[in-house]
Structure 1
Amino acid sequence: MGWIVWTVLIPLALVAAGYGAFRYALATDAVGLLDAGDRLFRGESQIRTVARAHYGQDPAQKLEMVLPAGAKGPLPIVVFIHGGGWDSGDPCSYRFVARALAPHGYAVVLAGYRLYPHARYPAMLEDGAGALRWVADHAAAHGGDPSRIVLMGHSAGAYNAVMLALDRQWLGREGLSADALRGVVGLSGPYDFYPFDKPSSIHSFGEAADPQATQPVNHARGDAPPLLLLSGDGDTTVKPRNSLALAKAMTAAGEPTQAIILKGVNHTGMVMKLAQPFARDARVIDAVLPFLKRVTAPAGPAISAPVQARSR
């Protein structure tokens, strides 16, 4: 009977410990603990890390590339950019995003960028472009398909991802084509937040020469890659009006776009629903996966294709 007790109690203790870590992460926004709990629930057997690299001299200019275990590729690539108010965060803490997406057939790149106070706008966009330059140059050697790249980000990372897709200049400076991106997934992103009224935006954008040019809503264009904009009606950090405003501007510009507002979801809850055990609420992943499948399906030009000049 003793072995029966232990085979029951030990798994229950592990689950309880993991859930406790998640509750602490929920209370403190400690993403590293969120990732540790997800690893406890999911394990690492479904994924493998195929590359760790720096695309610049700063320690924050780093990335990781993850593939499904056993996959040979070439696989469509999701480049995930973390949040943290442009002043905190580490891509290594977001491996739960790779565990959520890679088993569905995607190569996942977790990309970091320089943070305040060491960097201000437009450093986060320059770094996003630098990370994509690395992807264009090296991802194929590790099993990714540079002709099928989707950007994805949460909060500040969603801002970075959307701006890289809408304002062509940032990728253009790296010799890349923003128009070759297959799509963008923005989770609880700030897209229309001028005038700057929070420490995070004041610190990172307050010295911008043209504040209006920092706003994604002012770069809406009808020939942009498709956008999936998710927000929660309980988000008081980045209010849903950001997604609604950008969707309206994109639609007016000729790219019909809908903001999806999830009931009862707050700011951190949006990304937490990609990690176990919170992924039992599958509304986020159930919106993301069909979008990824749709936009990465057909063949198209690689992001490193020559940049074509277009009128705005």
Structure 2
Amino acid sequence: MDVLGGNHRPEAPWKRMSKEELDNQYSPSRWVVRLGAEEAMRTYSQMGNEVTKRARATGRSLLDVPYGESEGEKLDIYLPEAVSEAMPFLVFFHGGYWQSGRNKGHWDLEGKEPLMEPDTAPALCTGTLDRMVDQVTQSIVFVQTRYPSNQGIYLCGHSAGAHLAAMMLLANWTKHGVTPNLKGFFLLSGVYDLEPIMHTSENAPLLPTLEDAQRNSPLWHLKTAPTRPMDPACLILVTVGQHDSPEFHRQSREFYQTLCQGGWKASFEELHDTDHFEILWNLTQEDYVLTQIILRTIFQES
């Protein structure tokens, strides 16, 4: 029998998994429920392209706006018809396990508020996860600097994008000379502890050492060196799809619980009858529960 006391913590369940089990747990396409893996990827990519075309046709958009000096450091800005700098801004970070996907054709909220969608360089060599985190930080500094009268900047990320958004809870804004007006985080089916990822086939090259994984794990930082909330009123919504894998569920719940223990204003939602990829498609529907939560949060706070 186990006796818990002091700093002893139960062993994480993933540590008892084989490499094959970890590959399965951290491969979202294997958990889709209504389409095959390849069909799901193809279908949702096409849907994303269609929604993006509609958004560009019905509102004003600024494409490939540079927020840094590198070729890949650009963002797309989607604006409603009535443009004002004194508005809330939503910044979206796409997924793709840090290695694939670009900001074209991913997501929008039907022009309800300005949407920023930064691109980051693909992670093809050691150290580029650190680079991506730095790029995300740069993109937020850019938004705050370009729109200093904003009524709040809200970060939304899906999968690996949720991880990048969550890392902003730890950012040293003083180093950048700008403190962004961050009001909320919407983290969709994310990964927050990267140690299990370093043992999977696809993502092992991203995290060659334990130090790399820990340095880029918001959950690890919040547990070992808790960070005081930048703003006690800043809202953090952690969501996971009902049909996401058990490991995605565990990570989401553990991250939410750690946020609560650290004094952050966090909430948790399990999205009914939804898999990892359907979350994005559903989010293009104005009456979808998560879309409504995000809209209410932004406009009630602003």
- Give the TM-score normalised by structure 2: 0.75
- SS of the aligned residue for 2:199 comes to coil
5+ residue gaps, structure 1, are 1-21, 298-312
Assess if the C-alpha contact under 8 Å between 2:137 and 2:171 holds in 1.
no
Q: Is the 8 A contact 1:25 1:34 kept in 2?
A: no
Mapped to 2, the partners of 1:175 and 1:230 lie a distance apart of 32
Q: In the TM superposition, what whole-angstrom CA distance separates every residue of 1:1-46 from its partner, at most 9, and x where no partner exists?
A: xxxxxxxxxxxxxxxxxxxxx9999522465422233257x56453
The separation in 1 between residues aligned to 2:38 and 2:50, in whole angstroms, is: 9
Higher deviation after alignment, 198-207 or 68-77: 198-207
Counterpart of 1:257 (choices 247, 266, 284) is 266
Is the contact made by 2:91 and 2:118 (CA closer than 8 Å) also made in structure 1? yes
Among candidates 100, 115, 123, match of residue 122 of structure 2: 115
Aligned residue among 275, 288, 293 for 1:266: 275
The match for 2:193 is 192
Corresponding residue of 1:217: 219
Q: Distance in 2 between matches of 1:229 and 1:88?
A: 23
Compute the displacement of 1:172 (Å). Answer: 3.9
After TM superposition, the score normalised by the length of structure 1 is: 0.73
- Confirm whether residue 126 of structure 1 aligns to residue 134 of structure 2: yes
Q: Over the residues paired in the alignment, what is the CA RMSD in angstroms?
A: 2.8
State yes or no: 1:155 paired with 2:164: no
Going from structure 1 to structure 2, the CA distance change for 1:173 and 1:200 (only over 3 Å counts) comes to farther
Per-residue deviation, residues 64-114 of structure 1 (Å, max 9, x unmatched): 1111124344221111111110001111222x31xx2522xx211110111
Determine the structure 1 residue equivalent to 2:205: 203
Which of these residues, 176, 179, 201, is aligned with residue 178 of structure 2? Answer: 176
Task: Report sequence identity in percent.
Answer: 21
RCO comparison, higher one (Cα < 8 Å, 6+): 2
Partner in structure 2 of residue 136 of structure 1: 144
Of the candidates 170, 180, 183, which is equivalent to residue 167 of structure 1?
A: 170
Q: What SS is found at the alignment partner of 2:176?
A: coil
The aligned amino acid for 2:81 is: A
Q: Which whole-Å deviations, capped at 9, do the CAs of 1:170-219 have from their partners, x for residues lacking one?
A: x44322336x4111111111112423322454232334635323211133
- Count of aligned pairs: 259
1:124 CA displacement: 1.1
Partners of 1:28 and 1:237 in 2: CA distance: 21
The residue correspondences of 1:214-293 to structure 2 (distance < 5 A) are: 214-220=216-222, 221-224=227-230, 225-236=234-245, 239-275=248-284, 279=285, 282-293=288-299
Contact 2:51 / 2:105 at 8 angstroms: preserved in 1?
A: no
* Cα offset, 1:272, TM superposition: 1.5
Structure number with the higher helix fraction is 1
Gaps spanning 5+ residues in structure 2: where?
Answer: 1-34
Work out whether 1:102 is the aligned partner of 2:120: no
Q: Secondary structure at the match of 1:65?
A: strand
